[in-house]
């Protein structure tokens, strides 16, 4: 069965194990095996717990044929840094990359919610005078185009769901797309 690594800040939710179970079940329904980071049995009290977590997640990514990354903004206007690393790692390995965000607003608009953003010299700058990326994209151009070039465009709902951390509609769309894309080479090879 085709394996998909399920990246995202979901692992930090109070009900992270339940969310992971729901995501894995959706993958199974579509003929995929979901690899959820919390499936790695790591003792959080171990002196090298962070390294064990990293190595366990990396082993899952190596084993996976694709990644579905939850790029919903986390603790700020952009995606979770660990998830972004995992997306880049998978793109660099030539794996199928899919991603979703339950916040469909542009990155520049979200920056306006977090800091004083204003126009200067035809562009946007933040309160520190640093340029704010404004291409009308939902997040940093590197993530968005990694998805475009290594999988499919970022999946977003028309409007943010009431519960951005538990609504799995956009995630399930990614699962369906992954199942279709990963099955296509197998169908061609056997036909």
Percent of the chain with pLDDT over 90: 78
26 or 188, higher pLDDT: 26
Cα separation of 32 and 127, whole Å?
45
pLDDT(35) > 90: yes
The token duo for 41 is 């049995």
pLDDT digits (tens, 9 = 90+) for 113-169: 888 888 888 889 888 888 899 999 999 999 999 999 999 999 999 999 999 999 999
Query: Cα–Cα distance between 191 and 187 in angstroms, integer?
Result: 6
Which run of H or E residues covers position 99?
A: strand 96-100
Structure tokens at 119: 């126009």
96-100 β-sheet, strand order: 32-35, 2-7, 66-70, 96-100
The mean per-residue pLDDT over the stretch 64-84 comes to 96
The sign of the torsion formed by the CA atoms of 142, 145, 149, 150 equals: positive
pLDDT tens profile 75-123: 999 999 999 999 999 999 999 999 999 999 999 999 888 888 888 888 8
Residues whose CB falls within 8 Å of the CB of residue 46, separated by 6 or more in sequence, listed in order: 52
Q: What percent of the chain has pLDDT over 70?
A: 96
Ordered structural domains, the chain, with CATH:
2-103+139-190 (3.40.50.450), 106-137 (no CATH)
Q: What is the pTM of this model?
A: 0.91
Work out the number of other CB atoms within 10 angstroms of the CB of residue 8. 30
């Amino acid at each position: 069965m085709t394996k998909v690594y399920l990246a995202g800040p979901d692992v930090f939710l109070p009900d992270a194990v339940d969310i992971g179970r729901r995501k894995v079940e959706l993958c199974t329904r579509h003929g995929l095996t979901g690899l959820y980071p919390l499936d790695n049995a790591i003792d959080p009290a171990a002196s090298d717990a962070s390294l064990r977590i990293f190595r366990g997640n990396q082993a899952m990514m190596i084993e996976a044929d694709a990644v579905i990354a939850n790029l919903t903004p986390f603790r700020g206007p952009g995606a979770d840094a660990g998830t972004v690393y995992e997306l880049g790692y998978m793109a660099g390995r030539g794996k199928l990359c899919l991603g979703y965000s339950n916040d469909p607003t542009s990155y520049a608009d979200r920056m306006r919610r977090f800091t004083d953003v204003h126009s200067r010299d035809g562009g946007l700058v933040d309160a520190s005078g640093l340029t704010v990326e404004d291409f009308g994209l939902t997040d940093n151009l590197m993530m968005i185009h990694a998805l475009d070039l290594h999988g499919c465009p970022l999946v977003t709902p028309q409007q943010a769901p009431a519960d951005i951390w538990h609504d799995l509609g956009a995630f399930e769309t990614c699962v369906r797309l992954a199942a279709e894309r990963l099955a296509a080479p197998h169908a061609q090879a056997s036909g």
